[in-house]
Structure 1
């Protein structure tokens, strides 16, 4: 590059950290340093006090920002003798619209403010960003300046900044309780910003408990709703400000006021979703329980299962129903359990799922799909740990069953949907079939044509081992004969014979006791038979099939596949 070009490039560079004589006057530079004598000498030499730098600052701006009362006095005196006049000069603005009064208020220079007010400075002069001297003093926490400006008649209810905040909003936001105590005596307590948020709402949102108390004591409304219907109690519950929640509830904040236009959201939902246990406990005690099961309402369990298992645990312990209400038309969610399973991702189940199942949550067809349409059995084992498979409803048996067995049994509808899903998920039968049969499921419920047709050879043998294979229905026998000819089924050798007497006897024992009692209780230990037969009576000798297939598709694909192919079967 030619040397001449380098010189030109260097000449075009501008260093804004330096002060240039043609943009910053000598008087302004002296005022910035607070040197009164030099300011006086320069003025006597005829130097202008109104020369401006590239920010639009003159000597008065520099002196006010520096807090140099003496320099301000000298400059104002010089301006009074000029043709422009002191009144016009004292309100001169920088390029940002800042007056000397604003700069002094922003930096807390009380003495300078007094001088400027004596010179008739405009106390309400707005800046380009809609601030003003009072707002600047409030923002900086300069209590004495706030008191002075208020006493001199500063506008206290004006809106500032793009959010339309008042000085009271800003004082509360910053937590300047001494200033809030001054402003509540002169400001409009229910002033609204652009989202219709009051100063009290701001206090609740940012946890400014002292300011909140001052506002409440001054008469501010504790139930004022923002544009989106959020209340101070809801926002404090969401943000976890327990002290603010206590103050609001102690002053009659309404915990049952709907806080959303989309669905009946209450403060308890916010506390549950964000896991604020202390707040949640307080709200449980005062929130109407209609939100738990009421039509058109939403249980806080829906909010809790999203991320907070500790909230789920607390709500269940306090008596909230694990089934809640069907919110399909409100949130697109059928139950808290369905929602929790949907959020489980690749894990077998979450802590929220465990808590809901343990609390007796009802299972739908889609819920059973999460448990059966996979090679993982963790979720199914969890369900069977807490729920019993009951005997058929039309059973004529009257055998007394222990009360815990009856109280935790699956409902007939749940059992029907379990079997429907099982019949549609024969591909994974090697995983779930042993668990269901050992849990007491009546094997005849699964002896359907599609199972006999599609089941792997080992799965089919395992299922047939729980029944009297010699008295199968004619259609099922035809399917078995065809599979035998096609060599898609390798039956156990004993299937070619009539079942032995011992097998028929254990089938009769199960018929008398019931599959659920025989397989899930210790009743077999009480039978008058040799102990080596206990395992035999519970079908322990039947060899399980092994699962050796490709990994299952994602949960969402399994659910969608079940929805698109499932046809309801009347199995019970």
Structure 2
């Protein structure tokens, strides 16, 4: 730290002359008997100034003057500033080779350390002064000493700064497997900061490419995390193990780091080399979690195209209760935030056939966004006729058959639907429009009691309300008395013959075939009648907000964390 501007009066005239390289003035002051070791507020004397300025003539004159003093030249050349800096250190830090040679000839200590544990060699390495490094090594400088609070060696610093020529010098004299206080090696540092040339030198010299830090991170992991593709390729070429576990808290691999930080090219390389047991294996973690949690859609797409399962495995023990699958993990991320949007990763996983568990349905329904639900239902359909060769089944394409919800998925949906009846205005039109059989909703007697008035009216348009079971009719009568349900005029009478006919058509075709195929549009009847047969003449209910919803299901409702 330079205080000369603030405290100019504390600097000796001799020091000023040395700093300014004014040889004539410096010699004049020496002849007049000025003290060569006069210190300023930083503890600097004239020799420190001359060394820092890189003026060999001034330094030589000062050393000659000190030799004739009672202190002697040796003590003078070893004198330190308040920060423990010697003249040799100051000259090395600025790359003044001639001054360094002069000071070494005057018996300066090549290993004298500063207060912060630096040394002349470390300073030369830091500055990238190759000739100085070679000189200090020849003069016997300690090459394996630690010189920072983090216990870095000169080789660590050379790798960090990317000084490849200096690394090449040091690998011939240093221990390659030296560690800082996190057990990080110089090769690890080179990989972390993308110093490919230094990495090449270290790896060629035999430094371990699989040396693990205290937290088990490897050079390959850190290079993948930081996106240094060239370093990743070099490490793999030198035998780096992509299947070496890199964390003591969960089974992390380099492929996870590439997926987490969205480095697509590196991910593609590592995915091809990673043991596929991480895909679905028990006690392992699919890299889809890392990509999906951070919504790196390109990485999700890459992993899916490489054959990774969209379901992964249950990783809630590692990442929390929401992470029962990659889909649940990405749905949970940010859901509940007013700015939440349906992520690209979620869309890709659903399109790839990710299993829609009860937890996934909970997040989807809790989003209260019909566009989200409609996207899901465009890629997954409700079960249709059971016999592929049946009279009704020929209207379903092979793709429609392949993406039908499994019984477990349908059961999970219905469970969450009953829990979230209060928000039926959001999900009811989409589910019925996609072919959900209305009778499934009537399996829960309280479904009509907890649904808002508009939702009840909309639902009744899809059934024969005159044949509802006595318990359901009692619920409607009670709701009507409490004025919590205002029936439409047509719902208070006998269903029309046309309505009964379209219910019969749906019964014969099945809800999925009726709502999801063009079978009705093939009929030679007016467009209005086609729409009527598909229940498209019924206006959807107005969506209520979360804040205005007042009904409470007996099972509880709300966001998944309240279920």
Instruction: Report the alpha carbon displacement of residue 369 of structure 1 after superposing the two structures with TM.
Output: 2.7
Among 118, 132, 147, which residue is 2:105 paired with? 118
1:453 alignment counterpart: 449
1:32-71 mapped onto 2 (5 Å cutoff): 32-71=19-58
Instruction: Report the alpha carbon displacement of residue 526 of structure 1 after superposing the two structures with TM.
Output: 3.8
2:326 alignment counterpart: 336
| Contact 1:341-1:349 at 8 Å conserved across structures | yes
Q: Are residue 368 (structure 1) and residue 361 (structure 2) matched?
A: yes
Instruction: Report the alpha carbon displacement of residue 560 of structure 1 after superposing the two structures with TM.
Output: 7.8
1:311 alignment counterpart: 299
Among 506, 510, 518, which residue is 2:502 paired with? 506
Give the whole-Å Cα distance in 1 for the aligned partners of 2:548 and 2:249. 37
Among 420, 424, 437, which residue is 1:425 paired with? 420
1:326 alignment counterpart: 314
2:239 alignment counterpart: 252
Give the whole-Å Cα distance in 2 for the aligned partners of 1:481 and 1:30. 105
Give the whole-Å Cα distance in 1 for the aligned partners of 2:507 and 2:389. 11
Deviates more, 1:130-139 or 1:80-89: 80-89
Among 151, 155, 170, which residue is 1:164 paired with? 151
1:353 alignment counterpart: 346
Give the whole-Å Cα distance in 1 for the aligned partners of 2:46 and 2:15. 4
| Contact 2:78-2:108 at 8 Å conserved across structures | yes
| Contact 1:203-1:211 at 8 Å conserved across structures | yes
Q: Flag the 1:366–1:253 CA change in 2: closer, same or farther, 3 A.
A: same
Instruction: Report the alpha carbon displacement of residue 89 of structure 1 after superposing the two structures with TM.
Output: 1.9
Give the whole-Å Cα distance in 2 for the aligned partners of 1:416 and 1:462. 23
Give the whole-Å Cα distance in 2 for the aligned partners of 1:233 and 1:559. 48
SS in structure 1 at match of 2:81: coil
2:552 alignment counterpart: none
Q: Are residue 383 (structure 1) and residue 376 (structure 2) matched?
A: yes
Q: CA-to-partner distance for each residue in 1:31-74, whole Å, 9 max, x for gaps?
A: 22223343333333333222222221222222222222122222
SS in structure 2 at match of 1:305: helix
Q: Which 5+ residue runs of structure 2 have no aligned equivalent?
A: 550-554
Instruction: Report the alpha carbon displacement of residue 539 of structure 1 after superposing the two structures with TM.
Output: 2.3
Among 411, 416, 423, which residue is 2:406 paired with? 411
Q: How many residues in Structure 1 have an aligned counterpart in Structure 2? A: 547
1:164-243 mapped onto 2 (5 Å cutoff): 164-243=151-230
Among 123, 128, 135, which residue is 1:148 paired with? 135
Q: Are residue 444 (structure 1) and residue 431 (structure 2) matched?
A: no
User: Please, what TM-score do these two structures have when normalized by structure 1?
Assistant: 0.89
Q: Flag the 1:489–1:255 CA change in 2: closer, same or farther, 3 A.
A: same
| Contact 1:393-1:412 at 8 Å conserved across structures | no
Deviates more, 1:457-466 or 1:94-103: 457-466
Deviates more, 1:180-189 or 1:300-309: 300-309
Q: Flag the 1:439–1:86 CA change in 2: closer, same or farther, 3 A.
A: same
Q: Flag the 1:78–1:415 CA change in 2: closer, same or farther, 3 A.
A: same
Q: Flag the 1:547–1:64 CA change in 2: closer, same or farther, 3 A.
A: closer
SS in structure 1 at match of 2:148: coil
| Contact 1:268-1:284 at 8 Å conserved across structures | yes
Instruction: Report the alpha carbon displacement of residue 391 of structure 1 after superposing the two structures with TM.
Output: 3.3
1:7 alignment counterpart: none
Q: Which 5+ residue runs of structure 1 have no aligned equivalent?
A: 1-13, 567-572
Give the whole-Å Cα distance in 2 for the aligned partners of 1:101 and 1:560. 74
Q: Flag the 1:152–1:236 CA change in 2: closer, same or farther, 3 A.
A: same
Q: Flag the 1:473–1:394 CA change in 2: closer, same or farther, 3 A.
A: farther
Instruction: Report the alpha carbon displacement of residue 239 of structure 1 after superposing the two structures with TM.
Output: 1.0
1:10 alignment counterpart: none
Instruction: Report the alpha carbon displacement of residue 510 of structure 1 after superposing the two structures with TM.
Output: 1.9
Instruction: Report the alpha carbon displacement of residue 103 of structure 1 after superposing the two structures with TM.
Output: 1.2
Q: Flag the 1:58–1:482 CA change in 2: closer, same or farther, 3 A.
A: closer
Instruction: Report the alpha carbon displacement of residue 498 of structure 1 after superposing the two structures with TM.
Output: 4.8
Deviates more, 1:129-138 or 1:283-292: 283-292
